[in-house]
Each structure stands twice: as C-alpha cells, then as structure tokens.
Amino acid sequence: MAADRFGAVLYEKQGPIAWVTLNRPDQLNAYNMEMRDDLFAILSAIHDDREVRAMVLAGLGAAFSTGGDLHEFGLAPSPVGARWVRFRRDVWGRMRALPIPTAAAIHGFTVGGGLEMALLCDVAIAAEDTRICLPETGVGMIPGVAGTQTASRRLGLGRALDLCLTGRWIGAQDALLVGLVAEVVPLAKLNRSAARLARALGRFPRECSAMAKLAVWDGLDLPLHDGLELERRLGKRLALVFGRGTRRGLAGESAGPRRVCAP
C-alpha cells in the first residue's frame, strides 16, 4: 500500500503492520505542531483499525528525531493556550494507549523528545550509528515528553537520572547494554529488522496484545500482590473473549481478595 502523506508524517499499512515515519528530514525530524497534529490523526486511526496488529515508528533521513522544534513551540501565544492545545492533542497519551505492540526503529540522532518517543514505544531497535541524549536540563528544561517517567521504568532509577541530569551522549551499544533497545543492527538492515520484529510482535490477536500490555504497564505502579491480581483479572477476561473461560479462569484463582472493578 502506498504511504499516506500527511506532510510531516508518512503512514503506510503493510498487511497487519502500520508504518509511521517522521517526515521532516531537512530539520532532522524535529517535532513541530504539524507533526503533532499528523501523529495524533494517524495514531487515532491505528487505534481504531482492527486490521492493524503492530506499529513501527521510524524517521526519514539522517536522524530519527532531534526532539521538539524549539523555535516553533516557543511561539505559543501563552502557557494557558499551549496547555489547552496539548490537552486536545495528547499525542503521547494516544501512543501509550495503543492496544497493539509498538516498536521504534531509531538511527542517527535520537535526542530529547525523539528519544522520549522511542521510550513510549514498547520496544526499540537501533542502527549502529544511533546517538542518544536527553539534553533538556542543559537548556533550563526537563524532559517533557514523558521521558522522566518512561526512562526510569525502562532503565531503572540510576541510569534514568544519569541521562536526565548529565545530558551525556551514549551510542547504540551502550543503549543495548542498559536495556534501552532490544537489538542493534547495521543501518542498511534497520527497516528489514524492524519489519521482522513487528511481524513477530503482531502475530497474536489484538486482544491478547492489549491485555498483556495493560498487565505490564499498569502493573508497574502496583504492589506485587495487586499486580498479580490485575494479571489474574485480565487473564480471565481474555479467556472469556476467546470462549475459553472456565470456573477457575485462564490462570487460576488468586489466593488474595477478589476485586470486581475493571482495571
């Protein structure tokens, strides 16, 4: 299928895989308001398209993304206006809430908001030339695309603080070592490897992926006992969806107290 051109983002479906490509190569895919609006529309379409079972987020040109276009976002009419626009276009919440596995295929400069976009995906794969940094504190800011939260969950407290506070640069192999990416490949093989990963991630029905993501992501914020209870409830719900419900449910009953509320 030919790519749909939204301007700052390209969208293409390859069977059950959605390819979302940042398309401001002359600006190293700096995130601007046009890209924000395009991503919101595309992610909304992916959320509602039951044919899609996995998504790849990539960047066109020499970089994945260098983060926010400071010139453009600096022209917001007022803090109140900027907050209202962000509320209406919650791109990052929409990406996080996708009921399918998401993979970031990163290369070149993956900086600031660009890295934070990758961290919002479920898994990332990096080309050998990838250069990663969270430089916001050096310019009087903090990571503002959920980076302070996703980095600590993905990397652990110490490594997240190191990236956020020092603004140090790391390469693809260091990113692999700390668990930021799952695989490092030659740049020429990045798209092929990302497609292979997306096919593996998308081989299950959407309901299975959605429940597994919900259990892992939401369980991070719960005590172990409550996380296990969440897992049990989601397992039973999934069993009912596929007609495999039994009196004990898919994973058996928990020894702890029952909850009747949905997660």
Of the residues 136, 207, 231, 253, only one is catalytic, namely 136
Q: Is 116 a catalytic residue?
A: yes
Distance CA 10, CA 54 (A): 16
Cα 35 to Cα 97, 143, 250, distances in angstroms = 19, 18, 42
List CB contacts of 62: < 8 A, sequence separation 6 or more.
25, 28, 108, 109
CA 67 to chain centre: 15
Burial of 256 (0-12, 13-18, 19+ CB in 10 A): exposed
Of the residues 12, 34, 72, 116, only one is catalytic, namely 116
CA 53 to chain centre: 15
Q: What is the DSSP string of 133-182?
A: E--GGGGT----SSHHHHHHHHH-HHHHHHHHHH---EEHHHHHHTTS-S
| 192, 215 contact by CB (below 8 A) | no
Distance CA 90, CA 30 (A): 18
- What number of other Cβ atoms are within 10 A of residue 227's Cβ? 16
Q: Is 136 a catalytic residue?
A: yes
Report the length, in residues, of the chain.
263
Annotated active-site positions, please?
A: 116, 136
